[in-house]
């Protein structure tokens, strides 16, 4: 009798999975999601252990709220227009356009299909990218072997990230730097300003240029800035070069001016000589005077007794 009971139990245990409802044979899974402020966030969800399935409706709501944020039924969306199914024909993945910090939290996702319904809990984390960093030095002109502070600043990122320093050969100088983080939360808009200072008491200018790289909280690069260090000697040489060039230009202008003045003077003298030559006194008055004198002498000789 005991042997018969064992065989019955084995047969029943093998038969039960085959007669379970079809909706228990598939699963709904959603991956943890990290969204970026002002960008489109995709919540990747998929059906497991089933090939052909049709979505008839979905509903998404925050755990802390009673009313759904978004619903989809009979090919129609309702609720927050930023939420929607990415592509109902391909699967249950969701997307959020123009992501906001307020979208962060725990959600309950309900999906109705032609083979049953499923619920799954998912989490969305919201971040913000840092703007491209701005780098500088103090003093502006650096002497090789002198003291200098390298600065790198990045703003508008969230949550708090990091700034790393590298020289031209790729050596990491971050351990020698000081990083400060200033958090701001205004009307739900969160941001962190990062500021890093790398100090050299005796700088080797051959180490430059330096790069400051901004990393987010997941150590993913958000931005980079290359810092070219200006040598004080290069600055003085440049100034001397400018002064020398200016002197040469002035001297050249003076020489050209002198040549022009000399040429004008020569032209004036030449013109004056030509004018004097053209205005030579006429010989006619002189001849008339001589003729007059001869006639007078003839009259005197005629009147002589």
- Mean pLDDT throughout 9-25? 47
Residue 159 included in any domain: yes
- Our count of domains for the chain comes to 2
Q: What is the pLDDT of residues 250-283, one digit of tens each?
A: 556 566 766 676 777 677 776 666 655 555 554 4
Q: Which has more confidence, 235 or 31?
A: 31
Q: Which has more confidence, 18 or 245?
A: 245
Q: What is the pLDDT of residue 187?
A: 87
Q: What is the pLDDT of residue 237?
A: 47
Residue 64 included in any domain: yes
Q: What is the pLDDT of residues 101-150, one digit of tens each?
A: 999 999 999 999 999 999 999 999 999 999 999 999 999 999 999 999 99
Residues 164 and 101 in one domain: no
**Among 127, 142, 176, residue at a domain's last position:** 127
Residue 305 has pLDDT above 70, yes or no: no
Q: What is the pLDDT of residue 43?
A: 97
Q: What is the pLDDT of residue 3?
A: 52
Residue 166 included in any domain: yes
Residues 225 and 149 in one domain: yes
Residues 118 and 99 in one domain: yes
- Mean pLDDT throughout 82-102? 95
Residue 51 has pLDDT above 70, yes or no: yes
Domain at 152, CATH number: 2.60.40.10
Range of the domain at 194: 134-230
What's the rounded Cα separation, in Å, for the pair 29 and 45?
5
Residue 153 has pLDDT above 70, yes or no: yes
Burial of 212 from C-beta contacts in 10 A (0-12 / 13-18 / 19+): buried
């Amino acid at each position: 009798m005991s042997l018969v009971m064992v065989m019955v139990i084995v047969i029943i245990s093998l038969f039960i999975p085959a007669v379970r409802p079809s909706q228990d044979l598939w699963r709904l899974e959603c991956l943890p999601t990290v969204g970026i402020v002002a960008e489109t966030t995709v919540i990747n969800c998929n059906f497991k252990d089933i090939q052909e399935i049709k979505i008839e409706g979905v509903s998404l709501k925050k755990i802390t709220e009673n009313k759904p944020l978004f619903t989809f039924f009979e090919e129609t969306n309702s609720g927050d227009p930023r939420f929607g199914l990415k592509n109902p024909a391909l699967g249950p993945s969701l997307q959020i356009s123009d992501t906001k910090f307020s979208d962060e939290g725990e959600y309950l996702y309900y999906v109705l299909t032609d083979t049953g319904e499923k619920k799954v809990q998912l989490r969305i984390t919201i971040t913000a990218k840092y703007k491209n960093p701005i780098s500088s030095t103090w003093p502006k002109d650096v002497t090789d072997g002198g003291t200098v502070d390298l600065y790198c600043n990045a703003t508008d990122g969230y949550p708090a990230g990091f700034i790393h320093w590298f020289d031209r050969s790729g050596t990491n100088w971050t351990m020698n730097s000081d990083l400060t983080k200033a958090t701001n939360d205004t009307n739900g808009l969160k941001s962190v300003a990062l500021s890093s200072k790398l100090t050299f008491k005796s700088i080797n200018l051959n180490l430059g240029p330096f790069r400051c790289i901004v990393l987010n909280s997941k150590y993913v690069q958000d931005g980079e800035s290359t810092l070219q260090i200006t040598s004080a000697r290069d600055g003085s040489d440049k100034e001397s070069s400018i002064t020398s060039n200016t002197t040469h230009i002035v001297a050249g202008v003076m020489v050209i001016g002198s040549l022009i003045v000399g040429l004008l003077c020569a032209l004036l003298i030449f013109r004056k000589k030509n004018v004097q030559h053209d205005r030579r006194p006429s010989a006619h008055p002189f001849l008339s005077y001589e003729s007059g004198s001869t006639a007078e002498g003839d009259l005197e000789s005629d009147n002589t007794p």
